[in-house]
Amino acid sequence: MKRIVALFVGLSFALLASAQAPSNYYNSANGLTGNQLKSALHNIIKGHTSISYSNILNAFWSTDNKGNGIVWDMYSDRPGGTPPYTYYLGQDNCGNYDSEGDCYNREHSWPQSWFNEQTTPRTDLHHIFPTDGYVNGRRSNHAYGEVRSASWTSQNGSKLGTCKTTGFSGTVFEPIDEYKGDLARAIMYMSVRYYSEDGSWGNSDMTTKSEIKPWAIQMLLRWNEQDPVSQKEIDRNNAIYNDYQHNRNPFIDHPEYARMIWDPNWNTVEETPEAIYLFPHPIARGQLLHLSGNTQQFDAVAICDLCGRTIYKATGNAVGDFSITIPSDIRRGCYIVKLMHKGNVVKYEKLLVK
């Protein structure tokens, strides 16, 4: 007989990125999913302390300082490489520009036209970032998306062009992979923060008032998982909470909330009752993973990301112990291990790759 179980990956995400929310900050959201969770999180983070529009530039000193006053610009940065140009806080900000590399300004990742330039979201730091003014202008108020054919590409590889994501074929702006998760979590924050406070908001290719359209939320859920929370985001979230707005982005503290709201059945799977043990767990990339227990029930193992895509698959004759080597180039994060027999999944396990 099969039983229904839940794969609780919240702990796994917490191991990857431990932000510094007060211990009881999310208590009222415990055990909730779907719109109930969305409403609970909204009540936790609403009513934040607003700052002035001009003070956003001052806040960047603590929220987006790469070190030594260098602006952390996600539209020009090349993680692990040399950015094409560098800006300094308080020196290179401006409102006028002629080309890329001229100056930086304030980018509303949720464009102002989408919320009719209302005062509170207009100064909400959780979705406002310093970016190159020219690139910001090229992004304009286009939705984020994945580009099929680029009409323009920035110096760090961000693109503007036609969308290839299922459900939308218009013009979109695609940031580089290393910052897709950052921007996905900013967009999801806005949807929750202004949930039920969006009466005068407009619509966009990506949104209906504060609701994210189905084609976009499926993409953002992938971005949230493919680009895990970084130390940059943790530090930024803490700075905004401690020094400015006194509210937090829940999706930085708990990335698993995204699926729990917009795909509440995501972590429910069928599995057989026999115990299978994975060790070591968590495991490092390139390390040998052992599976023990009733391994004679399966003849193949697949490691999948949280969207269900197979990252690695191994087959063999399971006799007492089944071992596979975790690929050395796999991303750190939470994965699902599918134990298979003759092409059918007989059991699921969660796996954290550190």
- pLDDT tens-place string over residues 86-118: 999 999 999 789 999 999 999 999 999 999 999
Determine, yes or no, domain membership for 245: yes
Which CATH number characterizes residue 295's domain? Answer: 2.60.40.1220
Q: What is the mean pLDDT of residues 281-291?
A: 87
pLDDT of 214: 96
pLDDT of 275: 66
Asked if pLDDT for residue 256 goes beyond 70, the answer is yes
Q: What is the mean pLDDT of residues 272-283?
A: 74
Answer yes or no: do 196 and 343 share one domain: no
pLDDT of 282: 86
Residue-wise pLDDT tens digits, 263-274: 887 655 444 456
Determine, yes or no, domain membership for 93: yes
Asked if pLDDT for residue 146 goes beyond 90, the answer is yes
C-alpha 353/C-alpha 339 separation (Å) is: 17
C-alpha 319/C-alpha 297 separation (Å) is: 10
Determine, yes or no, domain membership for 279: yes
Answer yes or no: do 236 and 115 share one domain: yes
Q: What separation, in Å, do the N-terminal and C-terminal C-alpha atoms of the chain show?
A: 34
Determine, yes or no, domain membership for 143: no
Reduced to 3 states (helix: H, G, I; strand: E, B; else coil), residue 220 is helix
Q: From the CB of residue 86, how many other CB atoms can be counted at a distance below 10 Å?
A: 14
Q: Which helix (H) or strand (E) segment is 10 a member of?
A: helix 10-16
Asked if pLDDT for residue 346 goes beyond 80, the answer is no
Answer yes or no: do 52 and 117 share one domain: yes
Answer yes or no: do 184 and 285 share one domain: no
Q: What is the mean pLDDT of residues 152-165?
A: 97
Determine, yes or no, domain membership for 6: no
Domain termination site, one of 227, 254, 281:
254
Asked if pLDDT for residue 332 goes beyond 90, the answer is no
Q: How confident is the model at residue 19 (pLDDT cuts 50, 70, 90)?
A: low
Q: What is the mean pLDDT of residues 318-329?
A: 73
Answer yes or no: do 244 and 113 share one domain: yes
Answer yes or no: do 208 and 332 share one domain: no
Better pLDDT: 107 or 310:
107
Answer yes or no: do 125 and 206 share one domain: yes
Percentage of residues of the chain with pLDDT beyond 70: 88
pLDDT of 267: 55
Q: How confident is the model at residue 317 (pLDDT cuts 50, 70, 90)?
A: low
Answer yes or no: do 248 and 287 share one domain: no
Answer yes or no: do 124 and 45 share one domain: yes
From 1-15, 66-80, 227-241, 297-311, the region with the lowest mean pLDDT: 1-15
pLDDT of 111: 98
Determine, yes or no, domain membership for 68: yes
Answer yes or no: do 342 and 217 share one domain: no
Average pLDDT, the chain: 88
Determine, yes or no, domain membership for 220: yes
Answer yes or no: do 334 and 185 share one domain: no
pLDDT of 296: 64
Answer yes or no: do 235 and 290 share one domain: no
**Over the range 247-258, which residues count as b (16 or more CB within 10 Å of their CB) and which as e?**
bbbbbbbbbbbb
Domain termination site, one of 224, 254, 284:
254
Q: Which helix (H) or strand (E) segment is 353 a member of?
A: strand 344-353
Residues sharing a CB contact under 8 Å with residue 67, sequence separation 6 or more, in sequence order:
none
Name the domain count of the chain: 2
Question: Domain of 201?
Answer: 18-100+109-129+176-254
Determine, yes or no, domain membership for 31: yes
